[in-house]
Amino acid sequence: MAATPPDSAGLDLVLAVRASAAASSGGAEHEPEVLAIFDQLRGPLLRYALAIGLRIPEAEDIVQEVFLALFRHTRLGRPRDNLRGWVFRVAHNLALKHREAARREVQRGAGSPEMPSSEPAHPGPGPEEQLAHSERHARLRAVLRALPEQDRQCLYLRAEGLRYREIAGVLGMSLGAVSLSLTRSLARMRRADGG
């Protein structure tokens, strides 16, 4: 597993619940703001969740959770200088937690009749699994699959428009590590393309 703090999103949620007990303002005024951010970021978040291996229903659930958490976050008057980074961080952590739970569930037992045991927990429907539109895409797919997970996540987040600082915040890396990771991944793709 990547060295990311898997529980910080959950912690945020819990903190939000505790703190909201003390807050006095209503919150209705935050709804349009949250919906506007939803309109802007639902697609990017969903793509990211799918790219890192979640299925659509799970990804949609996580996105809902993220925006409920965002609503609580803004209602509490918490820092809002980089809501995009915040939203991606919460989504990333929820996604990892979810994947981990899925893995444990599958390990715990093929007991459930609804789960054909032959099927792996997440047959990785990320771009790396399904890009075989063309030979070039197939090559790209192979390179992506061979990348360390954190390097892939960096690429996906950058593809969604996140700045290096935001990526560093989401993945718990240093700025320099983000920059190196992107450089390394792009170089590998270039080499595969040329060769």
Partner 1 sequence: MEIRDQHPSDEEMLAYADGELPSRRAATVRAHLGACWACRGRIAEIEGGIREFLEAYRTELDGRLPPAAGPRALLKAQLKALPKPGTFGMGPRLAAGLCAAALSIFGALLLSRPARLSGDAVAVPKASLTPGDTLPLTRTGVCQMPGNQLAELVPVSVRQTVLRRYGIENARPDAYEIDYLITPGLGGSGDVRNLWPEPYTNTVWNAHVKDALENRLHDLVCGGTLDLGTAQRELATDWISAYKKYFHTTTPIAR
One residue of 2, 8, 15, 65 binding partner 1 per CB under 8 A: 65
Residue type, 166: E
- The stretch near partner 1 (CB under 8 A) out of 1-9, 53-61, 81-89 is 53-61
Q: With CB under 8 A, what is the number of residues at the site for partner 1?
A: 71
Taking the complex as a whole, the smallest distance from the CB of residue 173 to partner 1 amounts, in Å, to 14
- Structure tokens that stand for 137 in this block: 């895409």
Told to check if 2 binds partner 1 by CB under 8 A, we report no
> Distance between CA atoms of 24 and 2, rounded to whole angstroms?
39
- What string marks each residue from 122 to 151 as x (binds partner 1 by CB under 8 A) or -? x----x--xx-x--xx--xx----------
Name all contacts of 147-152 with Cβ < 8 Å and 24+ positions apart.
Answer: 147/185, 147/188, 149/2, 149/52, 150/2, 150/3, 150/4, 150/181, 151/181, 151/184, 151/185, 152/51, 152/52, 152/126, 152/128, 152/185
Told to check if 23 binds partner 1 by CB under 8 A, we report yes
Q: Rule CB under 8 A: which of 84-103 touch partner 1?
A: 94, 98, 101-102
Taking the complex as a whole, the smallest distance from the CB of residue 166 to partner 1 amounts, in Å, to 11
Told to check if 15 binds partner 1 by CB under 8 A, we report no
